[in-house]
A and B are shown apart, each in its own frame.
Chain A
Amino acid sequence: MFKNRIKPHIKIIVVAGLLIFLHFIGVLSPLERLTVKVSQPIFNKLYSLGSDWRKDYNQKNSQVDLNAKVNDLENELGTLVVANARLKDLENENQKLREYLNFFSQQQMNYILAKVTSQENFLDSVKYGQNIIINQGSVNNLIPGLVVINGQGVVVGKVLEVKENSARVCLLINNSCKLVVSILNQNRTIGVTEGNLGLTVKINFVGQTEKINQGDIVVTSGLEKDIPAGLVLGRVSQINNNENDVWQNINVEPLVNFDNLGIVSVVLP
């Protein structure tokens, strides 16, 4: 019975197989490139419509938590004002020292702006789609492994794969998105981040002897090829130490709002 239903349509199945084969030998590439290129403006528009709605929706849902957050932030503001004053002093001092040492070669980063055109959305992802697609690709010198930041310079993720006019970027919360980072504690502890259940980020391979505090800032370490040091990822939100474990269990709260990623920058080597 099943065979009888397939038989009359064998030609279409063969055509489908042929088209897939032609894709793999590259014959269809110009047509595919054209389709992707022509579609990108529509994708941008639709994606921004969808993400605007998602942002509003999530904001409305989280209004209940806002009051508590305002209190926390007011407390934090006081601490930050003090820290800011101290840092300004240090900045002045640093400026003078640089002048004395004639050391002005401040590192300039090359970067390229990209629009987010869509979001991969698999059933096994949690709150956010864990990969985004951007509208810059290998023609703009993008290669896998480059770091992606938002408008404030906070790390969003890492380039996974590159096509001619688009690239696939894994977000920090993706389990397979790994970055070598440095925790800004006394020892500048090095660890490797990994997405945690699609919601937060955890740091692996930090030994039990390292002293980590809640609130410590996490930045890129500079140990990875093509990723500069000092780009902020987030802050340590939770430390669970079990003496029997080899490594500490550290959770990081990302400082980026993954709902609000219309435009990102890719840091070029």
Chain B
Amino acid sequence: MKKYFIALLYIGLLFLVVFLQLSLINSWPYAFSRINIILLALILFLFFLDFKTVILLALGLGLLTDIFSWQLFGFYTLTLFLVVFLADFLLANWFTNRSTYSFLALTFFATLSYNFILYGLFYLSNFLSDRGFFLWQANFWAGLGWELVWNLGIIFLFFWVMNLTTTRLKPVFLDKR
């Protein structure tokens, strides 16, 4: 029973994150609309949940976003999967503790990889249209800059508050196998 309750809770959480991102945050003023809570949620999941649950949540987030998106179905799912595996690889090999620096570095790499993969896929799917290559566009870099500032700021704030309230931060990212 408890298992189903938790599953329902997760599903509700996924819907909430996608609703907030696609309808609320996307309609905010320019700089604020660059907050990416789908990615932030995924990064936090990576730190607090086991990897299998994170992959399932990434699948749920990706599919939900794909349902509401007007891009080719599967782009968001594929991107989130790749970001999760890349982040897990970094966690297992590079960031072996739960310091704020690990969190921030992971957020930085995850944000970069998410946007490069996603916009790469968009570009490939629109290859024949007159849409310019995203890496040559100043707007892309400005948007990416804002997204990095928000994501890093929010993650930093989150763990700063957590450090104030709890002292139970143990090093859990050492590979147990």
Contact = CB atoms under 8 A, between A and B. Distances in A.
Contacts of A49: 24
Interface string A128-150: 01010100000000000000000
B167 interface: no
Contacts of B22: 43, 118
A2 interface: yes
A49 B19 CA distance: 13
Interface size class of A (residues with CB under 8 A): 35 or more
Interface of B: 15, 19-20, 22-30, 33-34, 51-52, 55-56, 59, 62-64, 66-68, 70, 73-74, 77, 81, 85, 88-89, 92-93, 115, 119, 122, 129-131, 134, 137, 139-140, 143-144, 147, 177
B73 A47 contact: no
A119 interface: yes
Interface of A: 1-2, 4-6, 8-9, 12-13, 15-16, 19-20, 23-24, 32, 35-36, 39, 42-44, 46-47, 49-51, 53-54, 57-58, 117-127, 129, 131, 133, 161, 168, 175-176, 198
Contacts, number: 123
In the A-B complex, the 7 residue pairs with the smallest Cβ-Cβ separation, listed nearest first, are: A50-B27, A123-B143, A46-B23, A121-B26, A20-B74, A46-B24, A43-B23
Nearest to B144: A123
Given A46-B19, A50-B23, A13 B81 contact: yes
B140 A54 contact: no
Main secondary structure of the interface of A (DSSP, over half): helix
Given A43-B22, A121-B33, A16 B52 contact: no
A120 B70 CA distance: 9
28 contacts: A1-B92, A2-B85, A2-B89, A5-B85, A5-B92, A15-B59, A16-B62, A19-B59, A20-B74, A23-B66, A23-B73, A35-B64, A36-B67, A43-B22, A51-B27, A57-B29, A118-B22, A119-B27, A120-B70, A121-B25, A123-B115, A123-B144, A124-B137, A124-B139, A124-B140, A175-B130, A175-B131, A198-B139
